[in-house]
Structure 1
């Protein structure tokens, strides 16, 4: 039994076998901090968080300059959103390895969780300066800049991220939204089309794409697209937002069904903005001569 066998089992996700092996190794040499740290990592993967932390504390008591258990403690606390403890250990880790980009990234992510955007950007940028090939840094910066309504800057970082991760649907979708919000409808349509080619069933993508085509007066596939969107609504698919549906759907019944589906969607990133279980929708007749009609869907 040797450490290579443990690592091989760990790579194969045979965590229980790896744990049994590392415990046997530790009986022979109980004070080797590297093996104690590894036991902690294995325990963490078995969701035995308290026992994992005990191992890392033990490893640090043997060698208080050992980076790995200090970082692992920070990461463990961060996953539990124990931000103060996480920051304490990440700070120690960054002092030991100031050029370790992942430590700065995790501190940035910590502040992102706390919605401290300025500090999050500070640490993400530190991480980016140390490693400009790590995709998640660019994505998180783009998300924060978008939240701060810095759309054009956000677009640049989404594009940098996509260069590194060219098949990420969420990034294309978010980039398309940014283009739409700055009024660049042509680029929004092109971006949504790229996402559509990757996965036409991505939530709300069909609606976004058709809405952009409506803006551009592109009616080439309107009837077919309309039928597909209506069919998706009857199947309870997340295909179009209630506001965009007004430009496509004529049936009040389908509009209501789609709105209910939208407000009950627990996966929405902007769920916190929906503070009432109803949406008021108004619309004119096709010739804009008749008065607006308003409906409340509950």
Structure 2
């Protein structure tokens, strides 16, 4: 007898949440196992949910809800490829079901298979053009290749169907921001926050938009709101520190960078930013230590070598600085590095080598001549 797949697709699970364990007094059905699986999924017991759902599928291998819930359980335990395989199998059973096709598309995205995902989203739209989810999926596909204009069209299509679709509004704001319209992006982010004022991701992207506009004060407010909800968000601490630096608030910047480093001490850019802040505070020894840590993490970090060398020159460690400038010349010969070499040789009393280095700097960038003349004419320190 052929199974009625339409009924499987539309069956209600409204009473599922009250069922939490097998009933020993009756023979278990696939529906019973699905109820248990859903309860366990909601409780975060994904592996136990998977066991229950497998028991249900043993009784009814083509059950729509069991297959979907099994795929969700697999995804939640990190078995993304296996989850996609279940969704793809279910899509062969329900090829006209727009929701299942859309679920499959999102599973493909989770596996980095964007072309496959797009194919499923297109199929979903063909089956039901008034279903908003595949339009969101298509927008994400376009965003993945940085085609934000096409992504924006898809977000708008989703919002035409469902004007209060939070994920689509948020995605639209990100796309609009990527296209450079930060004012419009800020307006959309604020409308999303009216729906959910406690979403740290929205606050973070709102802060980025304010930052891009040069509105550091509002950007810091956004980052602080993120950190109230998500205090271990190291990127928010780092970005907040950069803004404090730009405002001349160096102590606040240093605190922010130290917080970011507490969370993750393997980010070379944060150590670099900390070193820069120490330089602005005149603490050149601490600056050198921070820049050295950045270089340990990222040995090709050219700017870290340059800033570390400058800090060493300021603290009187001329030969340490010279080694670093020479390292920059190995990585990427620049006028700035040659100028630094000249300054070091000058400080060490070797005017001949200093002049050779200065000549290299001027040959690469004639604007350095004025700076070099000023350096040569600078009064000797007492």
String of CA shifts for 1:144-203, please: whole Å, max 9, x gaps: 110111111111101111222311112111211211221222211221221222233311
Which residue is 1:271 aligned to?
A: none
Task: Indicate if the aligned counterparts of 1:19 and 1:39 stay in contact, CA closer than 8 A.
Answer: yes
**Alpha-carbon distance between aligned partners in 2 of 1:243 and 1:182, rounded to the nearest angstrom:** 24
**Alpha-carbon distance between aligned partners in 2 of 1:189 and 1:49, rounded to the nearest angstrom:** 41
1:176 aligns with 2:275: yes
Q: How many matched pairs?
A: 274
Shift of 1:135: 1.7
Change in 2 beyond 3 A, CA 1:154/1:190: same
String of CA shifts for 1:208-235, please: whole Å, max 9, x gaps: 334444444457xx28x63563464376
Which residue is 2:154 aligned to?
A: 55
**Alpha-carbon distance between aligned partners in 2 of 1:4 and 1:42, rounded to the nearest angstrom:** 14
Secondary structure of the 2:164 match is coil
Which residue is 1:280 aligned to?
A: 371
**Alpha-carbon distance between aligned partners in 2 of 1:20 and 1:132, rounded to the nearest angstrom:** 39
Greater helix content: 2
Match of 1:111 among 185, 210, 218: 210
What's the TM-score, normalizing by structure 1? 0.79
Which residue is 1:247 aligned to?
A: 343
Shift of 1:206: 3.0
Shift of 1:67: 0.4
Which structure 1 segments of 5+ residues have no match?
Answer: 265-275, 290-298
Task: Indicate if the aligned counterparts of 2:344 and 2:354 stay in contact, CA closer than 8 A.
Answer: no
- 1:33-72 map, 5 Å: 33-72=132-171
**Alpha-carbon distance between aligned partners in 2 of 1:151 and 1:242, rounded to the nearest angstrom:** 30
Provide the aligned C-alpha RMSD in A.
3.1
Secondary structure of the 2:302 match is coil
Shift of 1:55: 2.3
Higher relative contact order (CA 8 A, sep 6+): 1
- 1:106-255 map, 5 Å: 106-218=205-317, 222=319, 226=322, 229-230=325-326, 232-233=328-329, 236-237=332-333, 244-249=340-345, 250-255=353-358
Which residue is 2:348 aligned to?
A: none
